C-alpha cells in the first residue's frame, strides 16, 4: 500500500464535486494522509483500477440505473478493488426486501409486506386484511422518497392510479403509516465502523409526510438515548459484516425503536452534526486500507 493511498469517493453525475456532507470526508481523508478525490460512478472515463480503495457515497441515482449500478459493483468486485460498503452488502441493501431478512433475524422493524411487480390488486387486499387506515407505498428499489406515497385505505380513483403506476415499476413495499413520524420525527442513528457516532432527527414539512430534505424536510442534531442506540445497533449486529458506515433510520413507539430503513449505500451521514464524525470515518477508512498513521 502506498504511503498516501489513492481513494475514490464515488458520487453521481449531478454532484460531480460531491455532496456537501462528503466534502467534509474528502478534507478529513486528505488530512489523514490519503489522496482522495470524487469520481462519478457511471462515468466511462474513470479508471477504477487505479484507486487503492473506493468509498461508495453520493450515488443518488443508483435506483434509477440499477442494472448499470450492479454491473459497476461487479467490476469493482472482479477487479478486487477494496470497496466500502462492500458490493455484497450493497447489493443486498439495494432491495428493501432486506427488511424482511432483518425482521427474521430479530430486529424490530416497521411491518412490511411485499407486492410482486404488476400485482396492483394485492395492495388493497393487504391493507384490508391488516386493517390499516392509512398506508405507505414505495418501490422495493428506491431512494430519496422516489415514488413513495401515503394513501388512505378508502381508495380513490387517483389512489388506484398511483398503486398501478408504482407496482408496475417492480416489486413494491406496503407498510402501515407511522403517525409518530409526522408528529415527532424520524431518528437517524449513525454508526461508523460499527461504533455509534451521532444522531439526527428528520422532520417533514407541514404539507408533507416524507422527511427527506428533497421534499422540504429538515434535519437537526439530537441526543440519542443509550437504550435507543443499543436497539438501533441490533440492525448492525444482524449483518454478516461490519459496515464502514450505516445510518439506521426509525422511530420510537413507546420505548421501542422500530426500524424504517437501514441505509448502507449512499446515505447522507450528517457528518457536520458529529463533532469528530468526518475524522472518525476517515480514520476508519485508513485502517481498512492499512495506511493509518
First to last CA, the chain: 13
Q: What is the pLDDT of residue 279?
A: 97
Q: What is the pLDDT of residue 216?
A: 67
Q: What is the pLDDT of residue 2?
A: 52
Question: Using CA atoms, how far apart are residues 248 and 233, in angstroms rounded to an integer?
Answer: 8
Residue 207 has pLDDT above 80, yes or no: no
Q: What is the pLDDT of residue 203?
A: 85
DSSP class of 223: P
pLDDT digits (tens, 9 = 90+) for 44-83: 999 999 999 999 999 999 999 999 999 999 999 999 999 9
> Which of 169, 145, 142 minimizes the C-alpha distance to 62?
142
- In the numeric block, the cell 421501542 is attached to 256
Domains of the chain: 6-93+277-288 (3.40.50.20), 98-109+180-264 (3.30.470.20), 113-176 (3.30.1490.20)
Question: Using CA atoms, how far apart are residues 57 and 88, in angstroms rounded to an integer?
Answer: 16
More confident of the two residues 207 and 128:
128
Residue 1 has pLDDT above 60, yes or no: no
Instruction: Count other C-beta atoms under 10 Å from residue 9's C-beta.
Output: 22
Mean pLDDT of the chain: 93
Name the band, by pLDDT with cuts 50, 70 and 90, for residue 33. Answer: very high
Q: What is the CA radius of gyration of the chain?
A: 19
- Cβ(291)–Cβ(3) below 8 Å: yes
Segment 24-43 shows an average pLDDT of 97
Q: What is the pLDDT of residue 205?
A: 72
Question: Using CA atoms, how far apart are residues 62 and 143, in angstroms rounded to an integer?
Answer: 8
Tell me the sheet residues that pair with 192: 195, 245
- What 3-state DSSP class applies to 134? strand
Burial class (CB in 10 A: 0-12, 13-18, 19+), 271: buried
Q: What is the pLDDT of residue 260?
A: 96
pLDDT digits (tens, 9 = 90+) for 172-201: 999 999 999 888 899 999 999 999 999 999
Question: Using CA atoms, how far apart are residues 56 and 39, in angstroms rounded to an integer?
Answer: 10
Q: What is the pLDDT of residue 3?
A: 76
Amino acid at each position: 500500500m502506498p504511503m498516501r493511498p489513492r481513494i475514490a469517493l464515488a458520487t453521481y453525475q449531478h454532484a460531480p464535486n460531491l455532496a456537501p456532507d462528503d466534502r467534509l470526508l474528502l478534507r478529513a481523508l486528505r488530512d489523514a494522509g490519503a489522496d482522495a478525490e470524487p469520481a462519478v460512478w457511471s462515468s466511462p472515463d474513470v479508471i477504477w483500477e487505479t484507486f487503492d480503495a473506493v468509498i461508495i457515497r453520493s450515488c443518488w441515482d443508483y435506483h434509477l440505473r440499477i442494472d448499470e449500478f450492479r454491473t459497476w459493483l461487479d467490476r469493482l468486485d472482479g477487479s478486487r478493488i477494496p470497496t466500502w460498503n462492500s458490493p455484497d452488502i450493497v447489493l443486498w441493501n439495494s432491495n428493501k426486501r432486506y427488511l424482511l431478512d432483518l425482521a427474521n433475524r430479530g430486529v424490530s422493524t416497521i411491518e412490511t409486506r411485499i407486492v410482486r411487480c404488476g400485482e396492483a390488486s394485492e395492495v388493497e387486499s393487504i391493507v384490508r386484511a391488516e386493517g390499516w387506515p392509512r398506508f405507505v407505498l414505495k418501490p422495493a428499489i428506491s431512494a430519496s422518497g422516489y415514488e413513495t406515497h401515503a394513501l388512505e385505505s378508502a381508495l380513490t380513483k387517483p389512489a388506484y392510479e398511483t398503486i398501478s403506476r408504482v407496482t408496475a415499476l417492480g416489486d413494491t413495499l406496503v407498510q402501515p403509516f407511522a403517525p409518530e413520524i409526522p408528529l415527532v420525527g424520524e431518528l437517524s442513528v449513525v454508526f461508523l465502523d460499527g461504533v455509534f457516532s451521532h444522531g439526527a432527527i428528520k422532520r417533514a414539512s407541514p404539507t408533507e409526510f416524507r422527511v427527506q430534505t428533497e421534499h422540504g424536510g429538515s434535519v437537526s442534531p439530537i441526543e440519542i438515548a443509550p437504550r435507543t442506540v443499543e436497539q438501533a445497533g441490533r440492525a448492525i449486529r444482524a449483518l454478516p459484516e461490519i459496515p464502514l458506515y450505516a445510518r439506521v433510520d426509525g422511530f420510537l413507539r413507546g420505548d421501542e425503536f422500530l426500524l424504517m430503513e437501514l441505509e448502507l449505500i449512499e446515505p447522507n451521514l450528517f457528518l457536520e452534526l458529529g463533532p469528530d464524525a468526518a475524522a472518525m470515518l476517515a480514520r476508519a477508512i485508513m485502517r481498512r486500507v492499512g495506511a493509518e498513521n
